[in-house]
Amino acid sequence: MKNKKISTLISFGLFLALTISPLQNLNYFSSNPAVVHAATTSSLPASTKDGAILHAFDWSFNTIKSELPSIAASGYKSIQVSPVQGTKDSSTDPTKWWLLYQPTNQAVGNAQLGSLSDFTSLCITAKSYGISIIVDVVMNHMANNGNKDQLDPSVDSSFQNSSLYHNLGQCSNWSNRYDVTQKGIGMPDLNTQTTEVQNKAITFLNQCVDAGASGFRFDAAKHIETNIGLDAGQSWSGNYWTNVLGNLHNKSNIFVYGEILQDGTVDNIANYETFMNVTASSYGGSVRSAITSNDLSKAGGMGGLNSTKSVDFVETHDTYEDGSTRGLTDLQRKIGWAIVDSRAGTTPLFFDRPTSSIGLKGESLWKDADVVALNQFHNAMIGQTEYLRWTNNNQTMLIDRGTTGTVLVNSGSNTSVNSPTNLANGTYTNKAAASCTLTVSNGTISGSIPANSVIILYNAGTPTTTLTASANIIGGNYTSAQSVILTPSKTADIYYTTDGSTPNSSSTKYTGAINVSSSLTIKYIAIDSLGVSSPVYTEAYVISASTAYTPNSGYKVDYDSSKLLQGKSFTVYYNGSLANSSSVSMHWGYNGWVGASNATMTKRSDGFWAATITIPTTATKLDFDFTDGSSYDNNSSNDWHLQVWSGSVPVQVSPAPVATKSVTVYYNGTLAASATSMTLHWGYNNFTSPKDATMTKQANGTWAATITMPSGSYMLNMAFNNNASTWDSNNSVNYNYSSAQ
């Protein structure tokens, strides 16, 4: 979201619209954009960060899903979807695009884009093409009712409490870091320093991840404070980014970038770079200035940012919707894309302009033949260094990538080039639309370049794509059967083995999903019609009822709550006050300490002591403490007590509750399947200070909410109610988990 006054935006947009000048009329780009089909899919990078992003602005989930073959064929590694949260109005009027940036909740699904089920289906299908889904999330504020400081009545009840907001009015001094982070930008500003707001964010973001999201764009990220740089030691300092990003599921594989509009004064952008990638907003302005003035030397540098932490672009939905880039022609946008897509280390974003109602796809420039050729160049040049040069009165820019490839961008008339280059000797033919052949000899590139053209050259003999293959489910430990889908990066057959042998073209040919119902190792290879082979890949799947659980660092006691079943093995991990002892035992019994005995614990390399017991078949409650032979840790005389179940565990926690720490509660009880909404009603120490937490539905059908255990808590007490106000209180005894003090 923009952080300037509306009047400023309008005047700025009119100024740029009036000053943008078209490139010269000669146009050697293809006049009719070519549609690229899936059969020509190029190799996509393995990492989301390394590939180009298609911003499918205002496309619905199902619209995106229908275009996945063309998106993959066009060389985009990821797709950025518009905000998925609830909206205060179901309008699909394209002039009301801003509705998606005024959320009414923090959960997946809205009237414009689709449901959680639609989103999950999109993510699953996208992964089969090797494509990542990036979600644009709005975490700084909630929807207003027309008055900037007042909530819209449609805002979810779980966000109606005034304590969740800063309540300091709207920002008027954009050069004051306190105002920028603590006051509103046109909507009620969430109090992001509070644990409750952070926990709501964690639950929502993990709902997205569990449904298949591979990344996030944080809208208005600059307006959420950090605890470093300009914010260090200040009264408004907060740990939002450390806590929220640190608690993401699969966090090491999640690509995160934030909208940090650079102002050179209070943006604190270098410090945001320690948490995430950032928008290269100043560089975007430099690129637009370069292509409208025909002085491409303005497109050097990266606006003061580290290129490897930058998301670069020609325009965004904000610059388009505020009018400041609407005057750019398609030719200018392609010239600009040639620059940003060819640079080293960055993650380029292509904004697709809308043409009709929200939910429908926009224009087709994203799959123009020249744009596709640039994406293929970008993917082929990953890891190559760059060297920038300008010639022809700065109307021609040369972007060398190592000694392997070069892009020449010409915004002027027909010209001759005779310039130094790092490209290897040889004769090169343009891989984009314009007809052009250039020669490299002894470090000099020479020849004639058409007007207003992009010339894409690869090192002679270097393939423009490589063949890879991937599995939709990586090898690992699983407790249920897995359906494994194998996908080549471009048109090719896949062959696989399950007996440990190396696959080749004589091995079993892959024709459909492989059902892995027991432990199995799959080795596979892709081979195309020319005989080009991918590497051999190996995925080892272990299917067992007992998957090793990794205890969470910093927690005194932890366990896998899904294993609290009669007659089953259950492992308890301990790292409390006795952890430095030479020996530790778990003193345990059941149903009020029946059959109490000691189980010797084993010290693990991570500092935890572990003991595995078999829960008796008649147990309804498990009781335990810890001892080193001379002292006891009995949770300040409250012990640990856990409910035990005969079938599946209806309420699970992860990690195990510990005072002052976050815990996520998962509900899959009798109300879960039919509910359209669920509320966690919880308290501690026999329902002290009861509170309600809105739960979000997960891709697997369970409901989840993240809370923080209060200081001094030794017991978590819970009950649940649905949209019909029907309660599940475990037959009036509630759901209870001991909390380590």
β-pairing verdict for 76-81 and 52-56: parallel
Select from 602, 694, 632 the least CA-distant residue to 85. Answer: 694
Region label for 531, one of left (φ > 0), alpha (ψ between -120 and 50) or beta (otherwise): left
Amino acid at residue number 413 = S
Q: In what order do the strands lie in the sheet with 557-559?
A: 557-559, 569-574, 609-614, 602-603
User: Residue 398: enclosing H or E segment and its boundaries?
Assistant: strand 396-401
Tokens matching residue 635: 């949770």
**CB burial string 401-414: b at 16+ within 10 A, e below:** bbbbbbbbbbbbbe
Cβ proximity of 276 and 257 under 8 Å: yes
Query: How open is the CA angle 313-318-320, to the nearest 5 degrees?
Result: 80
At a CB cut-off of 8 Å and minimum separation 6, what does 116 contact? 107, 108, 109, 207, 211, 697, 699
Q: What is the 3-state secondary structure (H, E, C) of 138-199?
A: ECCECCECCCCCCECCCCCHHHCCHHHECCCCECCCCCCHHHHHHCECCCCEECCCCHHHHH
Cα gap 329→354, rounded to integer Å = 15
Q: Is 259 a catalytic residue?
A: yes
At 302, the amino acid letter reads: M
Encoding tokens for residue 687? Answer: 């329902």
Cis peptide before 616 (omega within 30 of 0): no
Catalytic hit among 152, 210, 219, 368: 219
- In three-state secondary structure terms, 427 is strand
**ω into 655 cis (within 30 of 0):** yes
Tokens 């590497």 belong to 535
Amino acid at 268: N
Is 219 considered catalytic here?
yes
Exposure class string for 227-266: b at 16+ Cβ within 10 A, else e: bbbbbeeeebebebbebbbebbeeeeebbbbbbbbbbeeb
Q: Which of 188, 194, 212 is nearest to 103 (CA)?
A: 188
Q: 453, 338 in Cβ contact below 8 A?
A: no
φ and ψ at residue 460, rounded to 5 degrees: -55, 130
Q: Do the Cβ atoms of 589 and 623 come closer than 8 Å?
A: yes
d(CA 446, CA 419): 7
Task: Read off the tokens for 733.
Answer: 């005894």
Binning the chain into helix, strand and coil, the percentages to the nearest 5 are 20, 30, 50
Among 118, 152, 225, 259, the active-site one is 259
Question: 330-342 and 369-380 helices cross at what angle (nearest 10)?
Answer: 10
What's the chain's Rg over C-alpha atoms?
29
The catalytic residues are: 219, 259
